[in-house]
Amino acid sequence: MRITAIAALLLAGAALADTVPLRELTSAEKEAIQAAAPKRAPARPAKARRLLVVHLCKSNGKVVGGHPSIPHANYFLEWTGKQTGAFVSVVNNDESVFRPENLKQYDAIVFNNTVGVILDDPALRESLIDFVRSGKGFVAFHAGGAATFVQYPKYDQFPPFGEMVGGYEDGGHPWKHTEKTPVKIDDPRHPINAAFKGQPFEIEDEAFQFREPSLRGRLRVLLSIDMTRTAADPKRRILKQRQGDLDFPVSWIKPYGQGRVFYSTMGHSPEVFSKPALLEHFLAGVQYALGDLKADDTPSAKAPQAR
């Protein structure tokens, strides 16, 4: 047993060595997240929950560094899980964690700004999909949904993942993190949106556009870019399918098989993880994915109460 334990530790160390080390947050950065993080969870966990957090980033098969916000999101999840008792978060970038026998200990997976084709093994890819489809949860921040299993210029190298998440990004970022983007509350009465109290806001963060048509026929859109307060001028290179509806969701939920998905395109900028209302929104989304927060996930186009 002792030899097995040592071998496991050595393997874990090898896996960690294959990742790009994250920058350690300063005391001030941690304190800012602590001050903004929710003190209580919106729902009581039905049981002790474990959350797998993955931030693996790859380019052409090689592990690379990722968004500077990754350590902020990891710390937010760690701190908030402990403070509220909603879950325990475990960071693990070892690809073997996606084996079915390893995934079974978790209730949901978070892709924290993962980028690129992070799994080549078809069996591990299918294990990820089966995990959610069989009744577990999936959460993604920013690139963790729209830009994962993507190797530019190809966008959908694992179509089942895009189907599960709800869409693949295309055409870059029409709204940059250097400008203030107006966000509207599409579903003010939805429990995942409770923190906003129906009030729109502005954010300096990258926003994606999605290539799939009729987004609201498949997604329960919670937040989106307010196109009455921003321009769709040519410099943004809006996709043809988006020129028709000018629909740019920022957060949504959706069922997938027996499981649940919460995705927010927000999270490019580290500052996102020190905004109280957004952190309440994220926690509520995580609890929906875990199955503890009951929330209507009927697609927006089929749900009159969504607006």
Q: What is the CA radius of gyration of the chain?
A: 19
The pTM assigned to this predicted structure is 0.91
pLDDT on residue 14? 32
- Cα distance between residue 257 and residue 132, in whole Å: 7
- Of 179 and 216, the structure prediction assigns the larger pLDDT to 216
pLDDT on residue 60? 86
Confidence of residue 304 (pLDDT cuts 50, 70, 90): low
E-assigned strands of the chain? 50-54, 58-59, 62-63, 88-91, 108-112, 137-141, 181-185, 201-203, 220-225, 249-256, 259-264
Class of CATH domain 27-306: alpha beta
The pLDDT tens digits for 135-183 are 999 999 999 998 899 877 666 679 999 999 998 887 677 767 878 999 9
The pLDDT tens digits for 39-49 are 999 999 999 99
What is the chain's length? 307
Contact yes or no for 70/22 (Cβ under 8 A): yes
Which of 100-114, 126-140, 204-218, 229-243 bottoms out in mean pLDDT, i.e. has the lowest? 229-243
Take residue 195 and report the two structure tokens written for it. Answer: 């923190």
The pLDDT tens digits for 61-72 are 899 999 999 999
